[in-house]
Structure 1
Amino acid sequence: MRVRDQIYQKLKTEFDPEYLDVVDESHKHEGHAGARPEGQTHFRVELSCAAFAGKNQVERQRMVYRLLADEMAGPVHALALKTRAPGE
């Protein structure tokens, strides 16, 4: 399974999001630190879910990073996050 698909499935299962988009932006980082020739190292995630209601951005990002700890320790070098609660 591709790393993007793993990230998507984990987020979908854990947060039951109102909105979820996971984009592999590895091609934009070729030659940068952490980039690999096969890609799958740099991702942008937009996520809106009820679990984020009443939480600040740092708390929301910590929730995502905890869930994706294995990916962050392995193939993922960078993860750009845009997190919000529904209605924000």
Structure 2
Amino acid sequence: MKNEPITLAADRADAEDFDVSAEALERGRRARLIRKTRTDLGLSQPAFADRFRVPVGTLRDWEQARVSAPDFAIAYIKVIGLHPDMVAEAVA
């Protein structure tokens, strides 16, 4: 791992805690937005992926913060959150 600036230092009283870089914090924020959008719509990962034409493996990687969702994907998720039926119709 590169020497990234630490945004959130580990709690020294917690042996299992760890430092968090700015990149990891942003990746986690994006993951939370995606997961919240999906769950607010009441959809499982496979149902969301099918309805909005996102590969389910990609969606899982984004939600679990294994991979940071790119900017265009975050914009797409935000539009889905505002207009889910319109987006589903547009990609059908």
Which fold has the larger relative contact order, with Cα–Cα distance below 8 Å and residues 6 or more apart in sequence? 1
Q: Under TM normalisation by the shorter chain, which class is it?
A: under 0.3
TM-score, normalised to structure 2, is 0.25
TM-score, normalised to structure 1, is 0.26
